[in-house]
């Protein structure tokens, strides 16, 4: 890994390149909402061309070998743009694949997503699924953007396996989500699968943190838009942003955004530098819990601060709340992560 100065410069460049390709308005996002597959495969391929899916893949395997800090910085930028393309899922999958499947994922030619969750409120990846003897059996749910997946990495009691969407014994049902995307439920009835080596646990820690970073981008942008609105919208002959009660509320939201940023960025540093398992889990849990709660609070309050216009679907601000509603619980919600933090966080040294 390079020096701190080099890295922060790299992160700045990465953010800039992302900001350059993400439109400043949300017309593209609106057009994709409530349509299948919920994102644009062509756009995703362009993003892959920029190396985004390959971010965490070692250079030896054809990736760019960047750190968790870079991963989070990019996720945050995508959050700012409400980008629906399956970035976090693909990065997670890429870290578990090799060979031809990996190459296809990195090129954006195939979308492969992790399918690990069975219950709505759990971080358990094994569940009741088995992948022994080249046959997968079980049921995996809450797979974001599954409508656009070509294959899934399924976690079972006995390891990981790759399952093609169109294999015999695979059925996929799709439910729409509040952000205009979808969750897939994968039912595996003696489905053909290819065993994969490795363990999903570490990749999911990173995915949880990256989801927190994405939520940070969501709330940061929603808050910025709301500040703009407060400076221009007049009531009773004054900009509403001049009313002290609203000013103080805005100050409190700023504090939430700042705490989330501090928590997410510190967690990324820990994942990049420490191998202490309990410490790693505790910082991820802290950051994800904070990001989930703060994103809901900030986007909810942004609606309120927008007043009447905030509860129309025409106002973009509502898109941010709906995104937060979907992502808050992905890779574990706030209560789940608080519980894990309490269980694993190392005691203070005093």
Partner 1 sequence: MTVDLNDLDDETFRATVRDWVVANYPEELRNPPKRLHWRDNKVWYFKLAEKGWLCPGWPAEHGGMGLNAGKQIILLEEFERYGVARTNDHGIIMVGPLLIQYGTDAQRAEFLPKILAGEHIWCQGYSEPNAGSDLASLRTSAVSDGDDWVVNGQKIWTTLANDANWIFLLVRTDPGAKKQEGITFLLVPMDSPGITVRPIINIDLHDEFCEVFFDNVRVPKRWTVGEVNKGWTMAKNLLGFERIYLGSPKLSGYALSRLRMLAERMGTWEEPNFQDRFTRLRMEMDDLKALHATFVDIVRRGDALGPDVSMLKVIQTELFQKITDEMMDIAGANAGLLEPMEGNRNLHPSGQFIQARPSTIYGGSNEIQRNILAKNVLGLPG
Which residues lie near a second copy (CB under 8 A)?
A: 243-245, 247-248
Contact call for residue 8 and partner 1 (CB under 8 A): no
Site track 150-189 with partner 1 (rule: CB under 8 A), x = hit: -------------------------xxxxx---x------
Contact call for residue 100 and partner 1 (CB under 8 A): no
Per CB under 8 A, the segment of 20-28, 35-43, 54-62, 297-305 that binds partner 1 is 297-305
- Residues with Cβ within 8 Å of 243's Cβ and at least 6 positions away in sequence, in order, are none
Quote the least distance from Cβ 248 to a second copy, whole Å: 4
Nearest to 81 by CA among 131, 31, 125, 25: 25
Number of residues written out for the chain = 350
Q: Which is nearer to partner 1, 1 or 262 (CB)?
A: 262
Contact call for residue 344 and partner 1 (CB under 8 A): no
Query: C-alpha angle 80/82/84, rounded to 5°?
Result: 140
CA distance 302 to 307: 9
Contact call for residue 335 and partner 1 (CB under 8 A): yes
Contact call for residue 12 and partner 1 (CB under 8 A): no
Helix (H, G, I), strand (E, B) or coil at 209: helix
Query: Are 192 and 268 spatial neighbours (Cβ–Cβ below 8 Å)?
Result: no
Per CB under 8 A, the segment of 39-47, 159-167, 192-200, 296-304 that binds partner 1 is 296-304
Q: Which is nearer to partner 1, 97 or 240 (CB)?
A: 240
Quote the least distance from Cβ 339 to partner 1, whole Å: 8
Nearest to 150 by CA among 130, 170, 132: 170
Quote the least distance from Cβ 93 to a second copy, whole Å: 46
Contact call for residue 208 and partner 1 (CB under 8 A): no
Q: Which of 60, 120, 166, 275 binds partner 1 (CB under 8 A)?
A: 120
236, interface contact from partner 1, a second copy, none, CB < 5-8 Å by kind = partner 1
Site for partner 1 in 35-74 (CB under 8 A): none
Contact call for residue 259 and partner 1 (CB under 8 A): yes
Per CB under 8 A, the segment of 21-29, 73-81, 203-211, 309-317 that binds partner 1 is 309-317
**Maximum Cα–Cα distance across the chain:** 73
Long-range contacts of 50-57 (CB under 8 A, 24+ apart): 50/17, 50/21, 52/87, 52/91, 53/87, 53/90, 53/91, 53/94, 53/105, 53/106, 53/108, 54/94, 54/106, 55/91, 56/91, 56/94, 56/95, 56/206, 57/94, 57/95, 57/102, 57/106
φ and ψ at residue 39, rounded to 5 degrees: -145, 175
Cα distance from N-terminal residue to C-terminal residue, the chain: 32
Contact call for residue 310 and partner 1 (CB under 8 A): yes
5, interface contact from a second copy, partner 1, none, CB < 5-8 Å by kind = none
Q: Which is nearer to partner 1, 106 or 294 (CB)?
A: 294
Query: Are 213 and 76 spatial neighbours (Cβ–Cβ below 8 Å)?
Result: yes
Contact call for residue 307 and partner 1 (CB under 8 A): yes
């Amino acid at each position: 890994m390079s020096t701190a100065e080099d890295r922060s410069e790299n992160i700045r460049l990465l953010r800039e390149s992302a900001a350059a390709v993400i439109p400043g308005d949300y017309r593209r996002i609106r057009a994709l909402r409530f349509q299948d597959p919920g994102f644009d495969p062509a756009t995703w391929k362009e993003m892959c061309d920029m190396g985004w899916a390959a971010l965490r893949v070692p250079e030896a395997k054809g990736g760019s070998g960047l750190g968790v800090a870079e991963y989070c910085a990019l996720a945050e930028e995508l959050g700012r743009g409400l980008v629906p393309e399956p970035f976090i899922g693909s990065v997670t999958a890429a870290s578990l694949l090799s060979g031809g499947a990996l190459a296809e994922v990195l090129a954006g030619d195939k979308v492969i997503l992790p399918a690990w969750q069975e219950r709505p409120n759990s971080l358990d990846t094994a569940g009741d699924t088995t992948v022994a003897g080249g046959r997968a059996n079980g049921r995996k749910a809450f797979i974001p953007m599954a409508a656009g997946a070509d294959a899934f990495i399924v976690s079972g009691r006995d390891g990981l396996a790759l399952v093609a969407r169109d294999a015999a014994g695979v059925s996929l049902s799709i439910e729409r989500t509040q952000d205009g995307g979808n969750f897939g439920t994968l039912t595996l009835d003696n489905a053909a699968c290819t065993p994969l080596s490795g363990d999903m646990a570490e990749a999911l820690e990173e995915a949880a943190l990256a989801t927190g970073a994405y939520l940070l981008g969501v709330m940061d942008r929603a808050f910025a838009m709301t500040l703009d609105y407060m400076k221009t919208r007049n009531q009773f002959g004054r900009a509403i942003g001049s009313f002290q009660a609203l000013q103080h509320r805005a100050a409190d939201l700023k504090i939430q955004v700042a705490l989330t940023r501090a928590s997410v960025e510190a967690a990324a540093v820990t994942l990049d530098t420490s191998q202490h398992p309990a410490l790693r889990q505790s910082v991820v849990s802290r950051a994800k819990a904070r990001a989930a709660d703060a994103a809901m609070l900030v986007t909810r309050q942004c609606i309120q601060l927008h007043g009447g216009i905030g509860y129309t679907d025409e106002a973009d601000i509502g898109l941010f709340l709906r995104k937060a509603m979907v992502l808050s619980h992905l890779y574990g919600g706030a209560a789940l992560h608080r519980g894990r933090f309490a269980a694993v966080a190392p005691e203070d040294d005093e």
